[in-house]
Chains A and B, each alone.
Chain A
Amino acid sequence: MSIRFKTLAELKRLLENKEISSYELVNETFKNISSSKTNSFITLDEESALNKAKDFDEGKVDGDLAGIPIAQKDLFCTKNLRTTCGSKILENFIPPYDATVVDNLSAAGSICVGKTNMDEFAMGSSNETSYYGTVRNPWDLERVPGGSSGGSAAAVSEGLVCAATGTDTGGSIRQPAALCGITGIKPTYGRASRWGMIAFASSLDQAGAFARNAEDCALLLNHICSHDSKDSTSISDEQENYLDNINNDLKGKKIGIIKEFDISSLNKEVQDSFEHSKKIFEDLGANFVEVSMPNIKLSVPTYYVVAPAECSSNLSRFDGVKYGYRAKNAENLEELYIKSRSEGFGDEVKRRILIGTYVLSAGFYDAYYKKAQQSRRMIKNDFVDAFNEVDIIMSPSSPSSAFKIGSKTEDPIEMYLEDLFTISSNLAGVPAMSIPHGFAKGLPIGLQLIGNYLQESNILNFAHQYQKNSDWHLKTPNLGESS
C-alpha cells in the first residue's frame, strides 16, 4: 500500500483498522525519504523512530497522533537529536532538552522521523540560506520551496510525511505552504510555547503546522498549542478543540479584503485565482467587505527593523565559548569571537545581525527601533479596527508562485518582498494560514486567511469549508521516475 500523499486522518484510520502497522508506515517513510531529491531533511532519526513504531504496534502507546510519523523543523530543540537551525554554528549541537512543542507532539504519540531543512536561523524566504544546501520544490526541482520552513513544506508536499512542524516569524509557514501547494497555519502569538524553539525574533516567532488540509492542521494545532509556564509570553486563556467548529456554516459571515493590498499589480493567474476563491466563499454564503488598513504598507520596513534588532541580540549567545562552532587558532578572546562568528554564520544572518546592531545603536535607536515599535502598534490597531467589521481577512499568501533557485539571492530587498502579505499578521500577533487555491505558471499558489486574536478555529472553519468545495489541496506534484 502506498502511503504517499495520505492525509493524517487517513493514516490514523489505517492504523486504527490495523490495515497497516506503524512500523510499516515508518519504514516506508524512510524509504521514500532516501529516494527523495528535495533535500528536505538535515538529520534523520531512523532507529529511534522504528523503535517507537514497534512500541505503538505492541500497544504501548496511545494518543491522538499515536503511531504517525511526522517531521520537526530543525529549529525545535530535540533531546539527544542534533539540532542545527540550518547553521554551521550549530552543526554539532545536541540539545539535552525537548522544545515544548516537540514534547507535546510526542505526548500525543506521534513519531519524529527527523529534522527538516530550513533557512539559516529561519532567515530567508527560499531555503537558500541553509548551510545544509537548498531545498528543492517537489513541483519543480529547479525552484525554491519558499522559506524559512522550506524543508517541512517540501516534505509534506512530496508526501514524505503527512504532517510537519514549522515556525513563522514573517511568513515562514504560510509562504512555503503556498509555494509547495499545501496547508499551513501559524496560531496567535503566545498560543504555542516558544520554549526550546531557537529564537530568531522573539516577539514575532510562533510555531505552527503543515499538513495536506485544514482538518489535519486543526488536529495538529490541538497538540502544538499549550499554555507553558516556562514561556512568559505564553497565553493562559483556555484553549479550544480546533476541530469543534470546522463544520460551522459560513452564511452571513464577513470576509475583509484589504484596500491597501494592490491585487491588480500581481500576475494575472494570481488575480484570477483570488477572484475564483472569492466566488467559492460567496457561494457558501459569506459576504465581502473592503477594509482600510492605512498602516499596513509600513509592515515590511517595520519588520526589517524589529526582527533584525531582536536577532542581533538573540544570536549573541553563539560565541564559540560554551557550545557550537569554535574557530581554531584564535590568539585571544576577541579573535575567538570574531573568527567563530564570521566562520559559523552565513551571509544573510550576518546581514541581519549588522542591521539589528545598527538600529539599536546609541544615536539611532529613536530613529529606527523606537519608530518601528510605534508603527508596529499602528499596524496592530489597524487589525483591531478591521476585526470590528469582519470575521476574517483574506489575501494572497505570496505575490507569485515559486521562483527559480538563485534568481533572487543577489537582491535581498526583492527577497524580503516575498513576505509582503504575511508579515503584518506577525507584527500584530494574529493567527493566519495559507491554503492552496490555484496555480500560476503551473506552480501552486496560496490563499491567506487571517483571523482575529485567538480565533484559530474561525480561519480553520473557513479553510475547511473551502476545501470541501474545491480540490486544489488534493493536487500533488508529479515526482517523475525518481519515485
Chain B
Amino acid sequence: MSWETVIGLEVHAQLSTNTKLFSSASTKFGSEPNTQVDLVDLGLPGVLPVVNKDAFKKAIRFGLAIDADINQESSFDRKNYFYPDLPKGYQITQMTKPIVEGGSIDIDVDGDKKTINITRAHLEEDAGKSIHDAYPDKSVIDLNRAGTPLLEIVSEPEISSAKEAVSYMKALHQLVTFLDVCDGDMSQGSLRCDANVSIRKVGDPELGTRTEIKNINSFRFIEKAINFEIKRQIKVLESGKKVTQETRLYDSGKDETRPMRSKEFANDYRYFPDPDLLPVVISDDEMEEIRSTFPELPADKSRRYISEFQIDESEAEIISSSRELSIFFEVALESKNDPKLAANLIVGEIGSLLNKDNIKIDESKLSSDNFNILLQRISDGTISKKIAKTILAAIWETGRNADEIINEQGLVQIQDENLLEEVITKVIKSNTKQVEDFKNGKDKLFGFFVGQVMKETQGKANPKAVNDLLKKALNS
C-alpha cells in the first residue's frame, strides 16, 4: 500500500528586538537567570503591557518579503492557561487579527521548485523556562525569556516530505536572517518549529489524523523527527489501529518521538480580546518607512553581484545565500578591492575554514579590516595568492594582523628579477636532462621548472615573473 505525507509547520521566530514585546526589559540571551525581568514580565498585580512597535516593524518586513497581506490594524488576545513559567496565567497573542496573513515561500528540493503557502504570521510573547534538573527536589523558573517577542509563522499543510520541510525551514531561515528579523540561531531557540504530520493513502481526498511534534530546533532533527513519525504512523495504520491526535516530543538521543503528557495540553484556552491593549494601528507613513528600508534579498543580491562585479554565478549564489558572508563581501569591496579575488577567497579558502569549524564568518577571528589588508597585499604584489592561503590559515588561528604575519614570517613575494634569475640559473644547471627534453619538445616540463623555482623560494616568488624569466632562460 502506498502512503503520502501531509505536513504543516508552525515556526516560532524570535524577533531580534532590543527589548521585550510588552516591557522594556532586555532580550539578550544567556544572562543570569531572572535578571532580565521587569514588573510586567513578572506579572505583578496592576502592571500593564505596552506594545513594542519595533516588533511590529520586523513582522511587517517579513510579511512584505513573502508578499502577504499586512493588517495595518491588528489586535491582541489572551490565551489562558496555568503554567509556572507563564507569570500572568495567560499568554498575549494575536488570535483573531494577526499582523500578517497569506503570502508564500519558494523552496527547492534537489532542483525541484515548489511554493508553500503561508496561512498567517502573528506576534506573541514567549513564556519563561521551567528547569527541572537543577535541584534534586524542586523545579525552578527562569523568566528571562518571558515576554520575548515571537513571530509565529504558520504554513498551509502543503509540505509532502521531511526533505521539503527541511528545505522550507532553510528558506525561512535565510529569509528571516536577511531581513534582520531574527538572528536565526536555532541552537539558542531563536528559530524553532512544531511539525503537524499526518499520512493518508495516495489519492485519498481526506486528511489523516495528525500529530504535532513540538519544539524541534535543528534542520537535522526536523528531518529525522518527521521521518520517524511518518514511519510510526504507517506502522500504526497498517496494523489496523488508529493514529491518536496528540502532541509528541522528539528525543534526539533515542531518535524517536513520544507522546507528551496529554493532560497538560487538554486545555480550553478561552481566547478573548486583551482589554489592556487597544488595537495596534500602523499608519501609511510607517508602512512607507518600512518599505523604504527594506533590505536586498539573496536572489537580487546574486544577480547584482554577477552584473556589477562579473563574478562567477556559483560564487555569487554562495555568497548571497548567507547574510554574514554577503556583508563581509560587500565591506571588502568598499575598499576598492578586486571583486573576483575577494569572491574567490571567500568561497574557496575561507569557505572551507568556515565549514571545518562550523561557524559563521562574524564568529571567526578574521575581521573585515584584516581581510582588506590581505586583499591589498595580493593586489599590490607583496604576496602571492598561494601565500595568502598560508596567511589566512594563520589569521584563522590567531586573529593577528596580516602585515605582521607577512613581515614576521618573511612571506613577502620575491619580485626582484636579479634574485629570481639567480634561482632560475641554478635550477637549469641542476636539471640538465629535463632542459634537454624540454628543448626537444616536451612542453609539459615547463610546469616542472616553475615548481622547482617555487620550491627554492619557499613559494614566495612572483609567479608571473617566474613564468616570464623562465621562458626567456629556457628559450635562449
Contacts and interface: CB of A to CB of B under 8 A. Distances in A.
A365 B272 contact: yes
B406 to A, nearest CB: 57
Given A313-B90, A316-B80, A316-B89, A369 B272 contact: yes
Interface string A314-342: 01111101110000000001000100000
B268 interface: yes
Contacts, number: 96
A170 interface: no
B236 interface: no
A83 interface: yes
User: DSSP majority for the B interface?
Assistant: loop
A319 B277 contact: no
Interface string A297-326: 000000000000110110111110111000
B270 interface: yes
A202 B276 contact: yes
Nearest to B263: A334
Given A203-B275, A310-B275, A322-B42, A316 B88 contact: yes
A384 to B, nearest CB: 19
B84 interface: yes
Nearest to B22: A232
Contact of B78 (A96, A201, A313, A323): A313
A230 B50 contact: yes
B90 A316 contact: yes
B277 to A, nearest CB: 5
Given A203-B275, A313-B90, A319-B89, A95 B82 contact: no
A232 B48 contact: yes
B88 A360 contact: no
B111 interface: no
A239 interface: no
A16 B321 CA distance: 75
A315 B141 CA distance: 20
Interface string B53-86: 0000000000000000000000000101010100
A90 interface: yes
Interface stretch (A190-198, A210-218, A261-269, A388-396): A190-198
Nearest to A190: B278
Contacts of B88: 316-317
Contacts of B39: 96-97
Given A202-B276, A317-B87, A362 B45 contact: no
B48 A231 contact: yes
Given A202-B275, A232-B276, A360-B272, A313 B48 contact: no
Given A232-B50, A317-B88, A317-B89, A95 B45 contact: yes
A239 to B, nearest CB: 19
B278 A313 contact: no
B341 interface: no
A361 interface: yes
A106 interface: no
A233 interface: yes
A337 B276 CA distance: 25
B189 interface: no
B132 to A, nearest CB: 11
Interface string B29-44: 0000000000100111
Interface core residue of B42, B46, B49, B89 (most chain A CB under 10 Å): B46
A385 B47 CA distance: 35
Nearest to B81: A316
Given A316-B88, A317-B88, A194 B45 contact: no
B51 interface: yes
Contact residues on B (Cβ < 8 Å of other chain), bracket: 20 to 34
B270 A357 contact: yes
A445 interface: no
A277 B426 CA distance: 124
Most chain-B CB neighbours within 10 Å: which of A83, A96, A316, A360? A316
Nearest to A93: B45
Nearest to A360: B270
Given A313-B80, A313-B272, A322 B43 contact: yes
A336 B390 CA distance: 64
Nearest to B80: A313
A99 B39 CA distance: 12
Contacts of A199: 45-46, 276
Contacts of A318: 45
B268 to A, nearest CB: 5
A76 B47 CA distance: 11
A333 B84 contact: yes
Nearest to B49: A232
26 contacts: A83-B45, A90-B45, A97-B47, A99-B46, A194-B48, A195-B46, A199-B276, A202-B276, A231-B48, A231-B50, A232-B49, A232-B276, A232-B277, A233-B276, A310-B275, A313-B80, A313-B90, A316-B88, A316-B90, A319-B84, A321-B84, A321-B87, A323-B44, A360-B271, A362-B270, A365-B270
Interface of A: 76-77, 83, 85, 90, 93, 95-97, 99, 194-199, 201-203, 229-233, 309-310, 312-313, 315-319, 321-323, 333, 337, 357, 360-362, 365, 369
